[in-house]
Every structure is written in C-alpha cells, then in structure tokens.
Chain A
C-alpha cells in the first residue's frame, strides 16, 4: 500500500473547531505519492473542512499536516521540523513542509499544493488563456525581476512569458479548450469551466492536486471523460490527486485509496474494494441504524399478510 510505504502527505490528529462545533475530530490519514486518493463521506462530514485545512484556507485548531517533496519523509525528520518553530526545511531531500503553519498562498507557491473549488472559482472576466497565465504567477514574477525587469522589457521575461504560453497551450490541449483560448472564462459552459479549473491548478506545477467535487453537476458522459482526464493527468505528470467526490461510480472507478469520514472522524480507510464492503461505510451511507432496522422489519411484517390476502 503506497499510502503507507511512500506517503506524500501525512495528516496527524487533525481537529478543526468552529466555536462549539467540532467539524473535524482527531483525523489521521495518509496520501500516497502518485495515488489517486478519494475523501468521501455523507453531507456535512467535514470533507471540505479537511481540504481547507490542508490548503491553508482554515487554520487547523490542532494537529499536523506534513508534506514531503522528493523521497518519502522519515517520521524522525518530521518530528525534528515539528519541534523547531520553522514552517519548512530548505535544501533538504526530502524537502518537508508543515502545512498547518503556512499561509494559503505559500502552500500553493512553495509546498506546491493546488486546489479547485466546489463552486467553481475562475477569473470570469479574464480569458481562458489568461486564467492559465495567472496560475504561473510565481515563475513569471521571478522572471520579470519583480516587475522591474519586465517594465524595462528585458528579454529574459519575454522568453519566460513565451514558455508560460506554451505550457498554457499544452494544458488547453489536454482539456480540449484550445479553440476557446481567447474567450472570457465566464462564458464557457459549466463542464468546460470545471476542466479549465483543473488545467489552471495544473499550471501551478503541483505535487498534490486537491479537487473538491470535480464531477458535481456533470452528466454521466462528462463524468466518464473527467475520469479519463484525471488518469491522463496523473500518467503524464505523476501528480498525486486528492479528491472529494459524491459520485460513487467515479470514486470506485478511479481511486487507488479511499478514506471515509463521518462526523469529522475516519470510519474506513483502504482500497476502493475494501471500503465498499465495509459495514460501517454502508451504514453511514444508507443511514441504517437499529431503529431503522426495526422499522424496516415492521414494514416487511405488515406487507407480508397483505400480499397473502391479495393472493388468495
């Protein structure tokens, strides 16, 4: 199991409280390098909260979120960094990042964790191409000498911009939006906006791509295309993918590893096959409880004589 032998992201005892509400309680799981990991659970289970903690949009109440670039991190190295008051290591292999200590934009720029949103967040007034160029902000900012070199029109910046355009064009080709490159992103149909958001996240050159319900609002054909797209992205770039999804056909089809949470705690963790047959998962999803079982029995008992009556 790659998430045990070669974890990219290690979430330890993560808790998130909003006032009196405990959204995530003592949650631990690992994301394997190169895996497609699905985070599933019933509505309100705290999936998006976990995402927001990983990507820095929420400051976790307690717990540790460690990400390693390069080789798998040894627990000792993570502990050493945790005891220091630093956020990350510099020039080590593996390079370690403690995401719970970093602000959101540094998580994206330095730890290279990209994300999409449940309700699509594109730059609607800017063109499709510009959306992808903005995503390459860090590289271009560097090349433009923090705008001074760019203002003077240095050749290094022009070369970097040409490269950025090529990368954007490549991703547009992958998501099939090349012919819409110069259209405002807000005018694209819904499914295309979803694909563009994924392409934009990939333009930041991430090691971990977090997708919040990528198949929401897509029909069956589009969901199948999305599955193909995600597989293709992983094969091409080796990026690890962590996704929240409600569409079980997508989850079961695509995931190497499934983590199930309910009421902010983990109830199952394993391959898609093992999770599917886990009685606690079935109970969580179908809402089967003792009272419900008893009620179901009563219904069956009532129905049986009625049917007998009709039959006679």
Chain B
C-alpha cells in the first residue's frame, strides 16, 4: 500500500492531463442543425466526468502499486521448456483452418452474419494479411531490414496479375508465379540502393520506394487506369472450368446447383494453400545457410562479414524472397476482388503489415498468424459489436471507434509484451533433444 498523499498527487496530475486532453476533443462538439448550420455544443460535464474517472483509476492504482509496474526479471528463455500441449497447437490450428468454411456455415446457420461475409472477411482477408506478414517476416523478422514499403511488392503483384489476365489474356495460374517473380525482381531492385544503408535509413528509402510505386500507379493512366484502377479481372478457373455460375462451369459439369459459397470456399482454400506454402518454405529456408545468414545479419552485420558471408547477396535474397510472397498475395488479391486501384496500396497497408510482424514477435511465423487474425479480424469484429451501445448509449457507433480501440489495444499489448506475442525463438538446429517439462533442461545426446 502506498502513501495516500503521493497517490493523491499522482491522481491529481492524471486528472489534469485527462481534462487538458479531453477539453478540446470532448467538451466542444460541433453539430449541424436542421438548417445546415454548425452549432457548438458544450459538453464540459463529460470532460469533467472523464477527468474524474482518470483521477479515481490513477488513485487506486497508485495505492495498490506504489512503485508502478515492476517487470519481473525474465527467466532465461532456454530454461523454460514449452508447455507440452503447445506441441499440438500447429495441428489443431491446421485442422481449424481446413474446417473454417464449415465452421462459418455453422455460425451462419446459428443466426450469425451470412456465411459469405464470414468466409470473406474473417477467412480470406485475414489469410491475405498472413501471407503478406510471412513475406515481410523474412525481410524484417529474419534479416532485420526495416522495410516500411512492403505494400509496393503487393501492388506490383496485383497490377502484374491484373494486366496479364486482362490485357494479355493469361490464365490466373500462369499470372500467379509471374507476379511473384516480378515482385521478387522489384525486391532486388529496391535492395540495390538499400545495400549501403543501415537501420532507419532503410526505412526511409523503402517508404519512398512504395510511394513512387503508388504514384506511378496513379499517374500512368494509359496502363494502370489511374485512380479508376483496373477492373474485370477474371477469377481463377479450375482445369479450364469456371467456378462461377454459368453453363461452362464446373458445377454444371458435375450437375451440382451453383451456390456463391462454392467459389468463395475455393478461393479460401487457394489463399490458405499459398499461406501454408509460404510457411513451409520459410521454415525450410530458416534451416538453410541462406536463412541462417539472414538471422546472423540481423544479429551482427560486421561479424557476418568476418565469417565470409557476403552481406550484399544476403540482403538481396531476403528482399527477393519476401517480395515474392508479397507478389503472390497481390496476385491473389487482384483475382479475388477482380479489381485493383491505388487506393488499396497506400502507406497504411505497409504500416498494418509491419504492425502484424512486430506485434506477432519478430521472426515468429506463428506470431504473424495470430497477430494478423487479431488485427484484421479484430477491427472487423469491432464493427459489429452492437452490444457496446448498451454501455455508451445509442449514439455510439462501434465502427467509428474501432481504430481508437484498436490503437489502445496495441499500446497495451506492446507495454505488456514488448517483444511481441510470440517472443520465443525456436533454434534452427539443436544438438540435444528438445527439453520437455519435467526432464533435465539440457541433456547432451550421444553422438550418432
């Protein structure tokens, strides 16, 4: 228990700060009246109430934790073996992912939102971000190169697919790998000026690069259509059969009556396959010399050079590999929504992808998946929380506040877990058997 005087002082400061912040934002509100004039509404009472709430919370907190948050000394990571049930997590996760359309069906039939919406926003959209996050995870998480312009590769993949399938009549299945390879080439291109730079400077150059790509998309109207974008991008087919309605579709051939969910489920499994491929390729790359060189580069570039690792090619391959997955995500995006425009490739998207990787824990692929689910799914979920109206009154529109709530959640998360959701790093190779709970922590294995 802390000193009451100290607590009162801290609470008073908190209340003053809150009032200072709340006064311009909350206390003065402009509305348009019926004759379309702006009128000023005074809501000083609300601001005072907020300040009072801050006072109370801070007072209680200062009494309970007089020393503030004291972080407990973290145990060395290697001494904390993972919980035995965690072993089943990948398998359970995979099963859930495979069964997702059926879960969505159950949700929809139980009176939730429509199945198309569930599969689209909570399935496909999240998985696109997982794919993007896995791409950036190679550049930022493994190689430690802060790329704030990852969306450029996404855009290159999307526009590449859009142009190849509409203007040149390529099939999606051919455009997909080409989009990945073209994005990888752009990754090499951007890495050339970045090679001589370090840390923050890389961030600035990549940010500028993404902006250049976006401005080209906006201004090169004859090719990209400018702000209008490119539309009517054909959806993927399966062995030449269309997956939509119509006489030449797969469903007609199989004599199954068409339902929109079939195509959507197909798209879901397609992006799931892409994300899983990215996952397994990254997993394999981590155990290869190139992947270990990426991580070594993140840890200490000078030591890398002293061991004969060419840091130029190492950075180059990291950008190329990450951009490849970004390009695949872009190709899928173009085919799924049948429409691309520069609006989808703004800086906010880059920030979102960086946030997913950082929040998940740099280098952790499981973290990327969880963070993408929480960030993309969470913001969508906040749109639908009508129940909050009971708390904040009927004028409360959760969709308007979702970014605020979301930002708050991120701040809290970063305070509580500064290294991200999944901060343990699984070594790419072990000499001893993996320690399990209850066994001696390290037990050298006899030589093979």
Contact = CB atoms under 8 A, between A and B. Distances in A.
Interface stretch (B214-222, B234-242, B375-383, B429-437): B429-437
B305 A104 contact: yes
B67 interface: no
Interface stretch (B46-54, B147-155, B265-273, B288-296): B288-296
B447 A169 contact: yes
Contacts of B432: 181-182
A178 interface: yes
A104 B303 CA distance: 11
Contacts of A141: 289-290
A192 to B, nearest CB: 14
B84 interface: no
A144 B317 CA distance: 15
Contacts of B447: 169
Contact of A126 (B290, B299, B307): B299
A232 to B, nearest CB: 21
Interface in A136-154: 136-138, 140-141, 144, 146-147, 150-151, 153
A162 B287 CA distance: 12
A217 interface: no
Interface in A60-117: 104-106, 108-110, 114-115, 117
Interface string B267-285: 0000000000000010011
Which of A109, A141, A157, A179 has the largest count of B CB atoms less than 10 A from its CB? A141
Contacts of A140: 288-289
Nearest to A178: B444
Interface stretch (A127-135, A239-247, A250-258): A127-135
B427 A129 contact: yes
A49 interface: no
B302 interface: yes
Contacts of B290: 141, 144, 146-147, 150
Contacts, number: 142
A121 B303 contact: yes
Interface residues of B, number: 39
Interface in B299-319: 299-300, 302-311, 317
B277 to A, nearest CB: 12
Interface string A189-220: 00000000000110010000000000000000
B306 A108 contact: yes
Interface in A149-185: 150-151, 153, 157, 161-162, 165, 168-169, 172, 178-184
B120 to A, nearest CB: 33
Contacts of B289: 134, 136-137, 140-141, 144, 147, 150
Which of B76, B295, B306 has the largest count of A CB atoms less than 10 A from its CB? B306
B430 A105 contact: no
A130 B308 contact: no
A172 B430 CA distance: 13
Contact of B308 (A109, A117, A183): A109
B427 A137 contact: no
A182 B431 contact: yes
A261 interface: no
Contacts of A181: 430-432, 442, 444
A155 to B, nearest CB: 15
B71 interface: no
Contacts of A146: 290
Contacts of B303: 117, 121-123
A15 interface: no
B78 A105 contact: no
Nearest to B292: A134
B297 to A, nearest CB: 9
B417 interface: no
Nearest to B288: A150
A171 to B, nearest CB: 12
A279 interface: no
Given A108-B306, A117-B306, A182-B427, A126 B296 contact: yes
Given A135-B307, A184-B76, A187-B78, 8 more contacts: A104-B305, A121-B300, A130-B427, A136-B289, A137-B293, A147-B290, A147-B317, A201-B307
Interface of A: 55, 57, 104-106, 108-110, 114-115, 117, 121-127, 129-130, 133-138, 140-141, 144, 146-147, 150-151, 153, 157, 161-162, 165, 168-169, 172, 178-184, 187, 200-201, 204
Sorted nearest first, the 9 A-B pairs with minimum C-beta distance are A109-B308, A108-B308, A123-B299, A181-B431, A121-B303, A140-B289, A150-B288, A141-B289, A104-B305
